[in-house]
Each structure stands twice: as structure tokens, then as C-alpha cells.
Amino acid sequence: MNARGGIDLGGTKIQAVVVDERARLLGQARRPTPQDGGPPGVAREIAETLHEAATDAGMAMGDLAGIGVGSPGAIDAAAGTVEHARNLPDWEAPFPLASTLSEAVEAPVYLDNDVHVAVAGEFHLGAGKPYSSLLGVWWGTGVGGGIILDGKPWHGRGAAGEIGHTVVKLGGAHCPCGRRGCLEAYAGRAAMEVKARELAAEGEKTKLFEIMEKRDRTRLQSGVWARALEHGDHMAVRLIDRAIAALGAGIASAVNLLDVEAIVIGGGLGTRLGEPYVKRIEEAMQPHIFVSERPPAVFPAALGDLGGAIGATLLVPKPPRSRTASAASP
């Protein structure tokens, strides 16, 4: 069997999976991302999480043909380095994650951007399977994206897919990237939290922070937003409505440019809020679609919480099929 490992490296958790040659799940493990120890500390914890996933699959690390890692930050896949991973601890300078991890797990390690591997996972194994062109929109702390054209990922010069920084309002709200009016300034969970804190400081009532504290959180995680929406909390409803309007405009503009067949919505908020909210994003896109009689299909990501890690396993090259071997067998 040709088992492969996959890692989804996030700011709060490390998710590891072990899959077989057809990407079927054999084992998995999840650990919190260490907040001290810098990149070497994170690399050690990735190796431990993978070890746990291999044990869960009834295997040793040595049985894995290779490991794919989806990481935040700027990835140099050829050099095997990650830099500017802002939601990971002390991770600004390029760190040789592939070689460090490869030594610890004794298998080759392949890196790519976390959103790109998740979108590739949806394209090959999830909601995107029937299509040859796809735009993935990952609605979470930020708003990331991945583009697949003619069956192949489009990386541009390395920075393609940044749909979160397309402009939906000239001179609009401040974006965490330092610019104004970006989609992420309205729909990113980090930007929405800044806005919610501002409104609360001005005296507007909301249950958001009460729910956050009850859950022992210090941030407005996706689950906090979902709960506040269930309660009909006015501020949560208003900020999510604003996010959906911005997502509709941003995604429709991308569709007008690329004319992809399908849109898949994932990410922390996208996955947590799910189908009804994906439907609302689809409706918000409608007025902005230029060829309105032929809108793209819009789906929630189908692979769920493990999608990023399963998508990362696709980075491991498949071994060439040996035709002579099968021809020689009786």
C-alpha cells in the first residue's frame, strides 16, 4: 500500500491525516499549535501529530511514501521554506520547514499554501469533482482563494487567488493588509471582530462577547458567530449580512473575469455556517453577474474539517504505475 501523510497547519490547530493511495482516510490526529518555541517548535509538534495519525492508522512513520503540508504564509515550494506566516508564532523570516520536517519523519515533505491545497482537495475529491474550472473561496480569519483553470491550479507568479484583497468599495473599510475597501475588510473574521469591538465600545448591545467568554475564548471564533446568529443577535446579523453582501460582489466580479463553472465556499466560517449561508452568498452574487442567465454552481466545501489535510496529501507525487509488472503477472 502507498500511504501518504497530510498536514493542515493553522494558527490554532495542527490537523494530520494518513490516507491510502486513493485518498481514503486511514487515520488522523489533531493538536493545538504551540504558541512558543517559534517555527522549530511548530515543526516538532507537526511531527508528533503525524506520528499520532500514523499510529491511529496502525502504521509507522516509515510506512509513509511522503507528506504534504498546507501552510499559511508565503511558501517557496521549490526551496521548501515558509515565511511571513503571520498567525503562527514568531514566523517572519523564511524557515526551512520541508527539510526540518523531512528529517524528523524520515520521508519526503512537500509544501503549498493552505488554501490552495484545500481547494485542490475539493476539486479532486470533493464538491468540485464534476468541473474543470473552479474558484475556491475560503471564508475564515481572512478571505483566501484558489483558482483551478482547465483542470490545473493557477498560481500566477505565486500570489494568485487573493480574492480577499479584491476591492469591493473604493476608499472603504480598513483591511488587515493595510489597504482600504478589500473584500476581507468586510468579510474576514479578524476584520469583523475589530468592527464588533468598535461598535460594542460605542455602546451597541451584543451577545457576541458574552458567548465568547462563556466558551473560554479570547477571539470571536466561527462557533461564536454561529451561536450569536442562532440567538438573532442584531450586531452579529448585521455584520454577517454586510460580509455576505461583500462576498457576493467580490465573488461575482471574479466570475465576470474568469467565467469558472463552479464556486466552492470553505474556510472556518464558510464550513461552520454551511449550506444556508452559501445559498445567501449565491443570491448576493446574482445582481453582479454579467451573464446573469448562466451563473456558476455554488457549493459548500464537501470535505469538512479534514479537507485541508486531505488536500495536502495530493502534494505527494503518485508513484509511476508499473505496466510491465502487471503484464508479467499471470
Site residues for Zn ion per CB under 5 A: 165, 175, 177, 179, 182
Nearer to Zn ion, 7 or 185 (CB): 185
Could you give the angle at the alpha carbon of 238 between the alpha carbons of 134 and 300, nearest 5°?
A: 25
Shortest distance, position 146 Cβ to Zn ion, whole Å: 17
Shortest distance, position 184 Cβ to Zn ion, whole Å: 5
Nearer to Zn ion, 152 or 179 (CB): 179
Shortest distance, position 312 Cβ to Zn ion, whole Å: 26
Nearer to Zn ion, 107 or 137 (CB): 137
For β-strands 109-113 and 262-266, DSSP reports them as unpaired
Shortest distance, position 186 Cβ to Zn ion, whole Å: 10
Question: All 3 cell numbers of residue 289?
Answer: 453577474
For β-strands 67-71 and 109-113, DSSP reports them as parallel
CA 224 from centre of chain:
19
Question: All 3 cell numbers of residue 304?
Answer: 469538512
Nearer to Zn ion, 177 or 297 (CB): 177
**Distance from C-alpha of 217 to C-alpha of 202, rounded to nearest angstrom:** 22
Using left for φ > 0, alpha for ψ between -120 and 50, and beta otherwise, residue 204 falls in: beta
DSSP-derived secondary structure for 210-255: HHHHHTT-SS--HHHHHHHHHTT-HHHHHHHHHHHHHHHHHHHHHH
Nearer to Zn ion, 25 or 167 (CB): 167
Shortest distance, position 67 Cβ to Zn ion, whole Å: 32
Shortest distance, position 182 Cβ to Zn ion, whole Å: 3
Nearer to Zn ion, 188 or 268 (CB): 188
Residues 6+ apart with CB under 8 A from 5: 16, 17, 18, 50, 53, 54, 64, 66, 67, 68, 105, 107, 313, 316
Shortest distance, position 192 Cβ to Zn ion, whole Å: 14
Nearer to Zn ion, 175 or 228 (CB): 175
What sign does the dihedral 275-281-69-10 (CA atoms) show?
Answer: negative
